[in-house]
């Protein structure tokens, strides 16, 4: 193995199925009347256009130290006219998270006074690209009349805004009555609501009845649906009563649900006591549940405390967990500097696990364009089939991103099997634009076995730009069999450049 060198290089409102209209409730009339009376009792300077100065000060204060509760309290006393004035002032301000959050709270307050006017204004709001203002209005309507709010959302037709508004409506409804919201969703499959909308309601229910909340969560269709709710529930339940949480999870009859529930519980436990969580996992008799929980608990531990979790994984003999550790460490180490990455890798003992982590990390770094970092790690890896594959991948990816730099890098590498492997990858990309040069590079490889693979790579790359010319050239080579050509045609049709003929070194030099 040689040392690789780097170069440094608008709709009307409809009533809900219950028969109650959006703006026709007695509560709505009383609210509007009360606020209009408040506005009438203020000095003239605060009821018309002259209001803009004190209102501007209020908005400035809220923007400077945004807090949703403070904003809702401040806007609750505004009249419809004042709310519209505030929206105009905010629209003239530069875009920011705080500005848009205040605008949404103003729409919510407006909906409490006049939901019909607020909805129609949100429909034509040029600044509302995602549906946040529509969501604020619909959520306010949902507090008193969820059916009417659903009708509002469905009137938007297909698209991202409808989904966001429906999620806001069901989330608001679930806070008040999660069971009713979920039953409505099950009875109306034509209403495409994301099951994540029920999470906050289930979490609130779990404060008083965690078993009921957990059972409701498991009633959400689909693994991804109930898992999100489970994770949220377990984060609180484990801290308050871990025995009850695990007792419930282990009694689930469905094997997949039981596995997911235990994993969620262990994951929640690992956030504040990872060693205890891992000790519990080791006592689980069911192999499938134990493996799943191992993976989840260690992954969460590693995200929070990478060094101590790495020390732990180095002592584990369980192959499934070791593989989890391998890919987890590699993903995390991608974003580290060379010194930190070295510190992390140094905690792993020499052997299969450490080499596996370094191999996975090398592939990730190459994919992110960190070629010199990848070379540093490749130089520390023993020769293997996977290392050969990554050296070749390095040639492919560097050629895609900067062919001139790749060419200069290859030219200054000393003769070795590493250089030949990198060339074998490089020529596949070069063949698309300069097949003659790619053939010349490939023919410089002294190892006949690897040279054959490099020429096949040339054919694959060339087929992507000029299949007829590539096939004519390849079939003119001595000893080419028809099945080889068919194989290369398949490789040329793949999306990923690194997928291709297996490059094998006959004799290393």
CA distance 182 to 229: 13
**pTM for this model (two decimals):** 0.57
* The predicted structure's pLDDT at residue 403: 92
- The residues, ordered by sequence, that sit 6+ positions from 160 with a Cβ below 8 Å of its Cβ are 130, 131
* The predicted structure's pLDDT at residue 323: 77
* The predicted structure's pLDDT at residue 499: 76
Q: Rounded to whole angstroms, what are the CA distances from 98 to 123, 129, 136, 165, 305?
A: 21, 16, 15, 20, 32
CA distance 51 to 88: 12
Mean pLDDT of each 10-residue bin along the chain, 509 residues long: 54 33 40 42 38 76 90 93 94 93 96 95 94 96 96 91 95 94 92 87 90 89 70 86 90 88 88 85 81 80 86 81 79 84 88 88 89 90 90 93 93 93 94 95 94 94 95 93 91 82 84
* The predicted structure's pLDDT at residue 120: 96
Q: Which residue from 126, 64, 138, 54 is spatially nearest to 101, judged by alpha carbons?
A: 64
Characterise 413 by phi-psi region: left (phi > 0), alpha (psi -120 to 50), beta (else): beta
DSSP labels for 370-397? Answer: -HHHHHHHHTTSPP-HHHHHHHHHHHHH
* The predicted structure's pLDDT at residue 337: 85
Q: Which residue from 417, 473, 426 is spatially nearest to 450, judged by alpha carbons?
A: 417
CA distance 478 to 188: 67
Triad 21, 26, 31: Cα angle to 5°: 110
* The predicted structure's pLDDT at residue 228: 75
């Amino acid at each position: 193995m040689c040392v690789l060198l780097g170069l440094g290089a608008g709709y009307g409102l409809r009533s809900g199925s219950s028969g109650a209209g959006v703006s026709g409730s007695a509560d709505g009339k009383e609210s509007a009347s009360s606020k209009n009376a408040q506005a009438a009792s203020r000095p003239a300077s605060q009821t018309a256009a002259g209001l803009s100065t004190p209102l501007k000060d209020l908005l400035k204060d809220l923007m400077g130290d945004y807090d949703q509760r403070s904003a809702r309290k401040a806007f609750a006393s505004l009249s419809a006219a004042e709310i519209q004035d505030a929206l105009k002032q905010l629209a003239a301000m530069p875009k920011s998270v705080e500005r848009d959050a205040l605008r949404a709270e103003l729409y919510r307050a407006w909906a409490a006074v006049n939901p019909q006017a607020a909805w129609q204004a949100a429909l034509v709001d040029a600044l509302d690209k995602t549906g946040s203002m529509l969501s604020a209005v619909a959520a306010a309507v949902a507090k008193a009349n969820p059916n009417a709010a659903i009708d509002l959302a469905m009137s938007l037709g297909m698209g991202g805004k409808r989904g966001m508004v429906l999620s806001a409506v069901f989330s608001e409804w679930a806070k008040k009555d999660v069971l009713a919201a979920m039953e409505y969703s099950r009875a109306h499959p034509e209403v495409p609501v994301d099951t994540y909308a029920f999470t906050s309601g289930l979490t609130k229910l779990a404060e008083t009845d965690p078993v009921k909340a957990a059972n409701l969560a498991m009633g959400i269709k689909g693994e991804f649906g109930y898992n999100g709710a489970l994770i949220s529930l377990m984060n609180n339940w484990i801290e308050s009563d871990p025995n009850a949480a695990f007792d419930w999870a282990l009694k689930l009859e469905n094997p997949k649900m039981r596995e997911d529930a235990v994993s969620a519980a262990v994951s929640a436990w690992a956030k504040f006591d990872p060693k205890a969580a891992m000790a519990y996992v080791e006592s689980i008799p069911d192999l499938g549940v134990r493996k799943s929980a191992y993976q989840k608990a260690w992954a969460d531990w590693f995200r929070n405390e990478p060094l101590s979790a790495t020390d732990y994984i180095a002592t584990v003999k369980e192959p499934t967990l070791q593989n989890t550790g391998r890919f987890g460490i590699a993903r995390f180490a991608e974003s580290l500097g060379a010194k930190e990455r070295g510190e992390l890798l140094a905690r792993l003992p020499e052997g299969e696990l450490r080499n596996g982590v370094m191999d996975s990390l090398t592939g990730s770094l190459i994919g992110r364009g960190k070629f010199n970092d990848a070379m540093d790690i490749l130089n520390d890896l023993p020769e293997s089939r996977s290392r050969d594959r990554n050296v070749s991948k390095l040639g492919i990816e560097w050629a895609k991103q900067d062919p001139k730099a790749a060419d200069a890098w290859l030219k200054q590498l000393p003769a070795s099997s590493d250089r030949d492997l990198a060339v074998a990858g490089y020529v596949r990309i070069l063949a698309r634009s300069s097949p003659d040069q790619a053939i010349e590079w490939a023919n410089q490889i002294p190892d006949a076995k690897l040279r054959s693979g490099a020429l096949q790579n040339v054919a694959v790359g060339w087929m992507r730009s000029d299949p007829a010319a590539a096939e004519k050239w390849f079939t003119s080579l001595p000893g080419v069999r028809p099945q080889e050509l068919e194989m290369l045609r398949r490789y040329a049709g793949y999306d990923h450049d690194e997928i291709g003929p297996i490059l094998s070194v006959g004799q290393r030099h």
